[in-house]
Amino acid sequence: MSELESKYVLQTAGFDARFPNTNQTRHCFQNYTDYFKCIAAKGEDFAPCKQFKRAYNSLCPNEWIQRFDEQRENGTFPASLEP
């Protein structure tokens, strides 16, 4: 195993019963909002919040994440991120 392989572990989002047979767009958006609600309530160092971040990074296209981040910064994000 090379140094690079041992440094990074690739994982995809696990099964979520709320989205059994649907397009993963809602799953992406839900994990993004859940992550920011979680860090607002518990802080960035709270380990369970990191699962939401891994899931949305796995499911969401990078362009969407950039757009979501811009909308959050501009105050135009379409969902409440309050815990």
CATH number of 58's domain:
1.10.10.140
What is the number of domains present in the chain? 1
What does the block give as tokens for 67? 């757009």
Task: Provide, rounded to the nearest whole percent, the portion of the chain with pLDDT above 70.
Answer: 77
Residue 11 lies in a domain: no
For residues 36 and 31, what is the distance between their CA atoms, to the nearest angstrom?
9
Residue 68 lies in a domain: yes
Residue 34 lies in a domain: yes
pTM of the predicted model, to two decimals? 0.75
Spatial CB neighbours of 23, under 8 Å, sequence gap ≥ 6: none
Residue 62 lies in a domain: yes
More confident residue, 23 or 75: 75
For residues 41 and 20, what is the distance between their CA atoms, to the nearest angstrom?
28
Residue 33 lies in a domain: yes
Range of the domain at 65: 24-74
pLDDT for residue 57 is more than 60: yes
For residues 69 and 65, what is the distance between their CA atoms, to the nearest angstrom?
6
Residue 40 lies in a domain: yes
How deeply is 58 buried, as exposed, middle or buried, from its count of CB atoms within 10 A (0-12, 13-18, 19+)? middle
Residue 80 lies in a domain: no
Residue 50 lies in a domain: yes
Q: What is the pLDDT of residues 30-51, one digit of tens each?
A: 999 999 999 999 998 899 999 9
